[in-house]
Amino acid sequence: MSNHTGKPKPAKRAATSPSATSRSRTAPSAPAVAPVAVQRRPVEHDLLLAAIPHPILVLGPDNRAVYANAAAESFLSTSAPMLKRMTLEEVVAFGCPLNGLVEQVRANQQTINEYGIEMVTPKFTAPKLVDVYSGPLPDQPSHVLLMLQQRTMAQMIERQLTHRAAARSVSGMAAVLAHEIKNPLSGIRGAAQLLEPSLSDEDRPLAQLICAETDRIKALVDRMEVFGDERPLERTSVNIHDILDHVRRLSESGFARGIRFVADYDPSLPLLPGNRDKLVQAFLNLFKNAAEAIGDGTDPGRIVLQTAFRPGVRLTLPGSGVRISLPLMIQVEDNGPGIPDHLKPNMFDPFVTTKRTGTGLGLALVAKIIGDHGGIIECESEPKRTVFRVLLPLHDRISTTKSA
């Protein structure tokens, strides 16, 4: 009787059956269904194409753009609605290889890639070199997709390494010339000086001509001998603005008299490790090159100096896996007539010049000095605007290599 008290037994155990327990344990995981729903939501194609930093065009059967992403609008300096009203032949100049490439893709229904196509449009101030990736759309064979990639930074670094190789070849040649030519020149000049007093009045100018020409050759060899100096740079912390101002004052009192200088400096730039004398020599050559390019033109001469901090450019040192950052940018811009197209690919090579009395060693020496500082130099030129851009590291390349 003691087991029957008249009170109902609690239903505790009945509620804790195995199935009920499993349900209670899995109940908190119910909100996880929401992320699954988000993952199944498709990403719109327009968003993907708009996020790609390279210009993308989709051309219809009549070669009018049916789609252009933001990068294409920026690259072609034309809005998407305007591109949709223009044919490709109206966008690019007559004879541009891009026209034939599109027709070839449409006819063969195959993907075609072309590298180093020169694009010219009425909106471009100068031709642009691009790599083109093209192919038909699977669902619409008459439509052609084009992706353009401008060849800028990769080419800049590639050319800079070529400039360094050229400077190294000149270094070896300079060392040979200094030893094999300067010594015989001294003997030739000395012999001419000894013969001069004993010559007749008619022959004496010939001896003087020998002395003058040997002096001229010696001066040229002395200039080339600088390329053979492979000693490590003695570096100190230098202020690039002090160097630019010093070179500007030298220029204004000499070869750049009458030319207006405009300075646009970033005052927040820190000191950089460098050799002051070498950097003065490099920028003096750049200023002189700009002043001589301006010449006596009808327009007032102007040289713009600009410095800025531009992170993101990195360069791998030849012969090692060390990568250094080149955030310090110095630009020297002039409003001269520009550099001829046939000289642009080799303008930093030795003996390349347009001057009748020039030796073509000035820019080659600049490339060597900047390279010795672990930096690179590049040039962009068009009529009324030529820019020499120097990128330098803010850390000593030697110490960076050792710490790595």
Q: Would you write out the chain's pLDDT as a tens digit for each of its 404 residues?
A: 444 444 444 444 444 444 444 444 444 444 444 444 434 444 466 677 777 888 899 999 998 999 988 888 888 888 888 888 888 888 887 778 888 889 889 988 888 888 777 787 877 766 777 888 888 988 888 899 999 887 655 455 555 555 555 555 555 566 666 667 777 888 888 888 888 889 888 888 998 999 988 888 877 777 666 665 666 778 899 999 999 999 999 999 888 888 999 999 999 899 999 999 999 999 999 999 999 888 766 578 899 999 998 765 666 555 555 566 778 899 999 998 888 877 877 777 766 676 656 666 778 888 888 888 888 888 888 888 899 999 888 865 433 333 33
Q: Are strands 128-136 and 144-150 parallel, antiparallel or unpaired?
A: antiparallel
- To the nearest 10 degrees (0 to 180), the angle between helices 182-195 and 153-180 is 50
Nearest to 275 by CA among 237, 319, 309: 237
| SS3 per-residue string spanning the chain | CCCCCCCCCCCHHHHCCHHHHHHHHHHHHHHHHHHHHHHHCCCCHHHHHHHCCCCEEEECCCCEEEEECHHHHHHHCCCHHHHHCCEHHHHCCCCCHHHHHHHHHHHHCCCEEEEEEEECCCCCCCCEEEEEEEEECCCCCCCEEEEEEECCHHHHHHHHHHHHHHHHHHHHHHHHHHHHCHHHHHHHHHHHHHHHHHCCCCCHHHHHHHHHHHHHHHHHHHHHHHHHCCCCCCCEEECHHHHHHHHHHHHHCCCCCCCEEEEECCCCCCCEEECHHHHHHHHHHHHHHHHHHHCCCCCCCEEEEEEEECCCCEEECCCCCCEEECCEEEEEEECCCCCCHHHHHHCCCCCCCCCCCCCCCHHHHHHHHHHHCCCEEEEEEECCEEEEEEEECCCCHHHHHHHC
Residue 168: CB atoms within 10 A of its CB come to: 15
- To the nearest 10°, report the CA torsion of 152, 287, 376, 132: 10
Q: Which domains does the chain have, with CATH numbers?
A: 45-151 (3.30.450.20), 154-228 (1.10.287), 236-403 (3.30.565.10)
Taking CA atoms, 274 is separated from 12, 46, 237, 238, 378, in Å, by: 83, 48, 6, 6, 19
Residue 75 carries which side chain, given as an amino acid letter? F
The per-residue pLDDT for 261 is: 94
The per-residue pLDDT for 347 is: 78
How many CA atoms lie less than 13 Å away from 32 in the CB half-sphere? Answer: 5
What is the distance between the alpha carbons of residues 153 and 173, in angstroms, rounded to a whole number?
Answer: 30
Nearest to 391 by CA among 226, 167, 151, 153: 153
pTM value is 0.51
Residue 374's φ and ψ, nearest 5 degrees, are 80, 15
Nearest to 57 by CA among 153, 162, 134: 134
The per-residue pLDDT for 2 is: 44
The per-residue pLDDT for 402 is: 35
- Are 143 and 60 in contact by the 8 Å Cβ rule? The answer is yes
Calculate ∠ Cα 157-227-314, nearest 5°. Answer: 20
